[in-house]
Amino acid sequence: MLKNSGISVEEKDLYTIYRLSGKFVGEEETDNLKNELELKVKTENNRIIIDFSGVTYFSSIAIGILVKEDTNFSEKGGMFAICNVPDFMQNIFVLTKLTSKLNIYKTLEEAERAVIAY
């Protein structure tokens, strides 16, 4: 199993940025992502941005986690934004109609404006 993925976290006053890098293929990577998000949704600062600029592969399991956690954040009054989605993922989001479900922004700056205004 390739193990070259990571999550870096940057806390801001009103929101948190999760910068993803590498491949999110199997259990370890996707479990780490799921655990990070499940911890964050329970906090008062539950507005987050997931920056995909460093992602080279994202499995269907990982996409399922995004959908589930987006729902969790909405139910808890938080906001879940995604930005810098690579072309290969953008096509998947369009084909699966997730572009109408998820808050997807072209750039980090656009996502930050949306999260701050929320």
pLDDT in tens, 7-51: 999 999 999 999 999 999 878 888 999 999 998 988 888 999 999
pTM for the whole thing? Answer: 0.90
Q: Do 110 and 76 touch, CB atoms closer than 8 A?
A: no
Domain spans of the chain, in order of start: 6-113
**What average pLDDT does this structure show over 88-96?**
90
Res. 1: pLDDT tops 50: no
In 42-106, alpha helices (H)? 60-75, 87-95
Spatial distance between the Cα atoms of 115 and 118, rounded to a whole number of angstroms: 5
Residue 2: count other Cβ atoms within 10 Å of its Cβ: 11
Lowest mean pLDDT among 28-37, 78-87, 104-113: 28-37
Q: At residue 83, does pLDDT exceed 60? A: yes
CATH of 6-113, one of 3.40.1390.10, 1.10.3720.10, 2.40.50.100, 3.30.750.24: 3.30.750.24
